Amino acid sequence: MFDIRQIAIFNALTPQEAREISPYFATERFTKKEGIFSEGDTSDWFYIVKRGKVKITKLSHEGKEIILEIISPLDFFGGIAVMRGFPYPANAIAMEDTEVLKISRKNLLSIMDRFPSLMYCLATNIGDRIKGSHETLKSIALEKVEARIASLLIKLCDKAGEKVPEGVAINMKLTKQDIAEMVGTTVETSIRTMSKLSKAGLVSSKAGRIIIKDLDRLKSLT
Amino acid sequence: MFDIRQIAIFNALTPQEAREISPYFATERFTKKEGIFSEGDTSDWFYIVKRGKVKITKLSHEGKEIILEIISPLDFFGGIAVMRGFPYPANAIAMEDTEVLKISRKNLLSIMDRFPSLMYCLATNIGDRIKGSHETLKSIALEKVEARIASLLIKLCDKAGEKVPEGVAINMKLTKQDIAEMVGTTVETSIRTMSKLSKAGLVSSKAGRIIIKDLDRLKSLT
């Protein structure tokens, strides 16, 4: 059985406590590109990615998308809205076939009442995310596209990097469209920039994954 | 004497508890444009604005500034770094003559241990801020400058609006430079856009304050 203490925000629980609260979690599966919730929906559920990837997005009035965050296994999403009781402020969409754990708002709040340490873990996790969001904000507002893409690749390398003979592979299937939507540019510019970085020997791609071949030179662009 | 329960994150304390923890807070004054802390400094203090305004900024490599947040009286700043024990991730600068309350990291953490409800208030407050940061991110990445400035003015109107005969005044001294740095554009564009909105009768200014004369039309631009 899945031990919920694998999830960072629950890892301070004792085995006994983890067993007690486990029944409150349900599993749900989503196929690639399927919506999990939409901006404005009532925030009934707190989600944790068990397997797969989820993107948190917002749309402009003309329907252009920006990816605010990518949620990897064992990370939660929807948490802020659930805690505050306001509608989800963004969309959550499966980026690949994804399995999530979910717990209802009511049950989450009563578990938090029993285990105040959970609140600390949640608060610090949200704090880390706002730090990331501020970094992205700075980068989109002030830096050129090349520096923005380089920063993004370095961030993803930290988050989902895997050593391979050629360098570090980003363990995530990312399209040029995804990259464009994470740095606030067009697909054309994203393609052009990735191809420039590739020709310069900084990155390559293999079986749909991006490989960072020269992290130091990539860092020098940011 | 200043009652710390006026500060949202402390308002669940009893009068007795508030009196007990008050001695841990010190007052400090900063003059306009003075730095309170810089990105990378050790996060020794948790701050609350008592009077005045503080801007939280980041700089690009070429020294261009983006304003991530404006902290008004009774709001805190520096909290995430203090909770996590990492260096301040941004700069804090007084926008006008400002008085802050500050408490050391060690004392804040021990107060939080005693009053777990504080953690909940902090977490939800940080949650609200990440929501704001995601809104700004979407706006800077996807919207045109006019829509970004309109969104900013509406947000400031919510936060620091004051009814006046002509409409709603934003109770904050904001330069065109500040506006540019909040929406990620140049001063020239900020001046041109504000002047366009002013000619169209949507905004005006009086004694250094911006007045929203037609909120509905401003909303229609976003």
Specify the CATH number for the domain of residue A173.
1.10.10.10
**pLDDT score at A26:** 96
**pLDDT score at A93:** 97
Indicate whether A35 and A115 sit together in one domain: yes
Type of residue numbered A2: F
Contact between A142 and B184 using a beta-carbon 8 Å cutoff: yes
- Which of A83, A103, A138 finishes a domain? A138
- Which of B138, B159, B188 finishes a domain? B138
A79 touches chain B (CB under 8 A): yes
Which of B64, B68, B119 is facing A123, going by the closest CB pair?
B119
B116 touches chain A (CB under 8 A): yes
Structural domains in chain A (count): 2
**pLDDT score at B48:** 96
Q: Which residue of A has its CA nearest to B129?
A: A130
**pLDDT score at B1:** 66
Instruction: Give residue-wise pLDDT tens across range B1-53.
Output: 688 999 988 988 889 999 999 999 999 999 999 999 999 999 999 999 999 99
Indicate whether B148 and B205 sit together in one domain: yes
Q: Find chain A residues with C-beta within 8 A of B118's C-beta.
A: none
Contact between A184 and B142 using a beta-carbon 8 Å cutoff: yes
Cα dihedral B22, B27, B32, B34 in deg (nearest 10): -110
The token pair at A77 is 């999403």
- Backbone φ and ψ for A58, nearest 5 degrees, come out as -130, 155
- Which one, of A22, A14, A91, A36, lies nearest residue A59 by Cα? A91
Which of B133, B138, B147 is facing A130, going by the closest CB pair?
B133
Instruction: Give residue-wise pLDDT tens across range B103-138.
Output: 999 999 999 888 877 888 888 888 888 888 998 888
Q: Which residue of A has its CA nearest to B141?
A: A184
Q: Which residue of A has its CA nearest to B89?
A: A131
Indicate whether A160 and A212 sit together in one domain: yes
Q: What is the pLDDT along chain A (222 residues), one digit of tens a residue?
A: 688 999 988 988 889 999 999 999 999 999 999 999 999 999 999 999 999 999 999 998 778 889 999 999 999 999 889 988 899 999 999 999 999 999 999 999 999 888 877 888 888 888 888 888 998 888 888 888 899 999 999 989 988 899 999 999 998 888 889 999 998 888 999 999 999 999 999 999 888 899 999 999 999 988
- Which one, of A192, A215, A12, A83, lies nearest residue B120 by Cα? A83
Report CA Rg, chain A.
19
- Whether the per-residue pLDDT at B142 is higher than 80: the answer is yes
Please tell me what DSSP assigns to residue A87: P
Indicate whether A115 and A11 sit together in one domain: yes
**pLDDT score at A159:** 84
Indicate whether A101 and A148 sit together in one domain: no
State chain A's maximal CA–CA distance in angstroms.
56
Contact between A130 and B131 using a beta-carbon 8 Å cutoff: no
Q: Which residue has the tokens 């005006």?
A: B204
Best mean pLDDT range from A124-133, B91-100, B213-222:
B91-100
Which residue of A80, A115, A181, A222 is the best one to mutate when testing the B interface, meaning the one whose CB has the most B CBs within 10 A? A80
Indicate whether A151 and A212 sit together in one domain: yes
Which residue of A119, A152, A221 is the best one to mutate when testing the B interface, meaning the one whose CB has the most B CBs within 10 A? A119
Sequence-distant (6+) residues with CB within 8 A of A96 are A32, A52, A53, A173
B39 touches chain A (CB under 8 A): no
- Which one, of A37, A9, A78, lies nearest residue B127 by Cα? A78
Domain enclosing residue B38, as ranges: 4-138
**pLDDT score at B115:** 84
Q: Find chain B residues with C-beta within 8 A of A122's C-beta.
A: 123
- Which one, of A21, A76, A24, lies nearest residue A54 by Cα? A76
Indicate whether A80 and A173 sit together in one domain: no
Indicate whether B45 and B113 sit together in one domain: yes
Contact between A128 and B79 using a beta-carbon 8 Å cutoff: no
CATH number, domain of B104, equals: 2.60.120.10
Sequence-distant (6+) residues with CB within 8 A of A179 are A149, A152, A190, A194
Indicate whether B125 and B43 sit together in one domain: yes
Alpha carbons A50 and B82: distance in angstroms, whole number: 30
Contact between A134 and B58 using a beta-carbon 8 Å cutoff: yes
B80 touches chain A (CB under 8 A): yes
Mean pLDDT, chain B, rounded, equals 91
Per-residue H/E/C for chain B: CCCHHHCHHHCCCCHHHHHHHHHHCEEEEECCCCEEECCCCCCCEEEEEEECCEEEEEECCCCCEEEEEEECCCCEECHHHHHHCCCCCCEEEECCCEEEEEEEHHHHHHHHHHCHHHHHHHHHHHHHHHHHHHHHHHHHHHCCHHHHHHHHHHHHHHHHEEEECCEEEECCCCCHHHHHHHHCCCHHHHHHHHHHHHHCCCEEEECCEEEECCHHHHHHCC
By percentage, how much of chain B surpasses pLDDT 90? 58
Sequence-distant (6+) residues with CB within 8 A of B29 are B97, B98, B99, B100
B79 touches chain A (CB under 8 A): yes
**pLDDT score at B8:** 86
Indicate whether B52 and B78 sit together in one domain: yes
**pLDDT score at B139:** 87
Strand order in the sheet with B45-51: B26-30, B98-104, B45-51, B76-77
Alpha carbons A95 and A175: distance in angstroms, whole number: 10
Segments of A39-110 assigned E as strands: 45-51, 54-59, 65-71, 76-77, 91-94, 98-104
Q: Do A48 and A92 touch, CB atoms closer than 8 A?
A: no
Pairing, β B167-170 against β B161-164: antiparallel
**pLDDT score at B143:** 87
Q: Find chain B residues with C-beta within 8 A of A89's C-beta.
A: 131, 134-135
A–B CB contacts, 8 A cutoff, strictly below = 115
Q: Residues 58-77, chain A: which have Cβ within 8 Å of B?
A: 58, 60-61, 64, 66, 68
**pLDDT score at A1:** 66
Indicate whether A58 and A39 sit together in one domain: yes
- Which of B138, B170, B187 finishes a domain? B138
Alpha carbons A56 and A71: distance in angstroms, whole number: 8
Contact between B140 and A136 using a beta-carbon 8 Å cutoff: no
Q: C-alpha distances in angstroms, A34 versus A38, A59, A120, B194?
A: 11, 16, 32, 41
The token pair at B111 is 């107060």
- Backbone φ and ψ for A115, nearest 5 degrees, come out as -125, 85
The token pair at B35 is 């730095």
Which of A112, A126, A141 is facing B130, going by the closest CB pair?
A126
Contact between B137 and A79 using a beta-carbon 8 Å cutoff: no
**pLDDT score at B45:** 97
**pTM attached to this predicted model:** 0.83
Q: If pLDDT is split at 50, 70 and 90, which confidence band does B75 have?
A: very high
Indicate whether B105 and B120 sit together in one domain: yes
Cα dihedral A96, A39, B55, B123 in deg (nearest 10): -80
